[in-house]
């Protein structure tokens, strides 16, 4: 049986990947602490680098605007962008961030006990739900889970890692803004000469996919925050509109799963507040409103601002979220869609290349056919 060149390449790649995974597994069995230290060091660099890369794509329009203002010096332009972002983040933390934090505390201290009491009353009126309530209640008590949550958080993210990420992110951001193109060309030059053209095309496609995704996602999040704030305020949520609108907008960065999580809190809140519009049907009203807004966003807004490159089947989206989330945690969940889009773009590139320049048949086979 004769394999085509691209088939041989995939077979070799698969064998190499399997051998690599087997080697890693064996080393991990012999030296279990080695990989723990390695991944700890890896995450210490990967997380701030990923955040910086994410911000680079978000500020791309600002970078182009400064270029139009004849600010051509990359060092000065990068420094201006970093300082501008630090000022914006500081203003947000002092103003909107403080309001959101205050509303979150009030929700936990005042609203949550009322929600639990409303759930208890609902269960008393519907005895068939008592078993479900008894099972779920231990997970809904903030006092009982506070210590566990703190321990998990302290074990996963130490104070030193937070400080390192906080310090390194602006540094990485500055150098990525200033030397991003140089870094890309330097990486390409290291590769074999015959692969430079392919590497250049793949990095350009990846840049397009990631830029469209993050710029589109940031725009979508901003629009969703404003829309949900207005809708919740009209429905009578009052100051809690800011908290719930912010959560629904930010959690939209996690496709499908984020909106579901973000919908639960305002739905539960309606059980403890009789002033919400629609009365007893307020939870259903919240569910319908969130569904309609997300439907319009997914079918009208996102295709327009994000393009075809990031349009994927829901099964592929959920699979990528689970895979990259398991590998890289929260950062992996955020990067799952652009990473999967980049991989798909690379596969499409090689398919296009093979169609334009099909691999030549084996000379021996050509002689036999003659």
Task: Give domain status of residue 295, yes or no.
Answer: no
- Residue 59 tokens read as 């500020």
Task: Give domain status of residue 79, yes or no.
Answer: yes
Task: Give domain status of residue 203, yes or no.
Answer: no
Question: What pLDDT score was predicted for residue 41?
Answer: 74
Integer Cα distance of 121 and 161 in angstroms = 44
Task: Give domain status of residue 80, yes or no.
Answer: yes
Q: What is the pLDDT along the chain (370 residues), one digit of tens a residue?
A: 566 665 666 677 778 778 877 787 777 677 767 666 777 777 778 788 888 888 888 888 888 889 888 888 889 999 999 999 999 989 988 888 888 888 889 888 888 888 888 877 777 776 666 666 666 656 555 554 444 444 444 444 456 667 777 888 899 999 988 988 888 888 788 777 777 788 888 888 888 888 878 777 888 888 899 999 999 999 989 888 999 999 998 888 877 778 888 899 899 899 888 888 888 888 899 999 999 998 888 777 766 666 555 566 777 777 887 888 777 777 777 778 888 888 888 888 777 777 766 655 554 444 444 4
DSSP 297: I
Domain assignment of residue 73, given as a range: 41-145+160-190
Produce one character per residue of 126-163: b if its CB has 16 or more CB atoms within 10 Å, e if not: eeeeeeebeeeeeeeeeeeeeeeeeeeeeeeeeeeeee
Question: What pLDDT score was predicted for residue 146?
Answer: 45
Task: Give domain status of residue 70, yes or no.
Answer: yes
| Domain tally, the chain | 1
Which DSSP helix (H) or strand (E) runs through 205?
A: helix 196-235
Task: Give domain status of residue 8, yes or no.
Answer: no
Q: What is the DSSP string of 83-129?
A: HHHHHHHHHHIIIIIHHHHHHHHHIIIIIHHHHHHHHHHHHHH-GGG
**Residue written as token pair 């429905």:** 235
Task: Give domain status of residue 28, yes or no.
Answer: no
Task: Give domain status of residue 217, yes or no.
Answer: no
Question: Is the overall model pTM greater than 0.85, yes or no?
Answer: no
């Amino acid at each position: 049986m004769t394999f085509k060149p691209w088939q041989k390449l995939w077979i070799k790649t698969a064998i190499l990947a399997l051998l690599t995974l087997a080697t890693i597994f064996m080393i991990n069995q012999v030296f279990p602490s080695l990989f723990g230290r390695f991944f700890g060091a890896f995450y210490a660099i990967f997380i701030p680098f990923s955040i910086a890369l994410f911000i680079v794509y978000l500020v791309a329009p600002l970078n182009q605007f400064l270029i139009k203002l004849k600010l051509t010096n990359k060092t000065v332009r990068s420094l201006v962008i970093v300082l501008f972002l630090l000022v914006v983040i500081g203003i947000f933390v002092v103003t909107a961030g403080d309001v959101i934090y205050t509303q979150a505390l009030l929700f936990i201290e005042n609203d949550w006990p009322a929600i639990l009491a409303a759930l208890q009353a609902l269960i008393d009126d519907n005895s068939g739900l008592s078993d479900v309530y008894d099972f779920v209640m231990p997970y809904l008590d903030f006092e009982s889970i506070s210590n566990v949550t703190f321990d998990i958080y302290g074990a996963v993210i130490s104070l030193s890692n937070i400080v390192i990420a906080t310090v390194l992110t602006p540094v990485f951001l500055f150098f990525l803004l200033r030397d991003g193109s140089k870094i890309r060309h330097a990486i390409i030059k290291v590769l074999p000469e015959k692969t430079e053209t392919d590497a250049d095309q793949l990095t350009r496609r990846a840049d397009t996919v990631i830029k469209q995704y993050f710029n589109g996602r940031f725009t979508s999040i901003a629009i969703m925050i404003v829309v949900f704030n207005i809708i919740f305020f009209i429905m009578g949520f009052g100051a809690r509109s800011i908290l719930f609108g912010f959560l629904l907008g930010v959690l939209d960065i996690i496709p499908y799963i984020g909106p579901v999580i973000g919908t639960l809190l305002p739905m539960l809140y309606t059980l403890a507040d009789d002033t919400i519009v629609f009365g007893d049907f307020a939870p259903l009203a919240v569910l319908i409103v969130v569904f309609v807004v997300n439907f319009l966003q997914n079918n009208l807004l996102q295709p327009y601002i994000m393009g075809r490159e990031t349009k994927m089947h829901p099964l592929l989206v959920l699979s990528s979220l689970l895979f990259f989330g398991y590998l890289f945690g929260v950062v992996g969940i955020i990067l799952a869609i652009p990473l999967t889009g980049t991989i798909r773009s690379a596969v499409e590139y090689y398919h296009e290349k093979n169609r334009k320049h099909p691999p030549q048949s084996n000379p021996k086979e050509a002689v036999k056919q003659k």
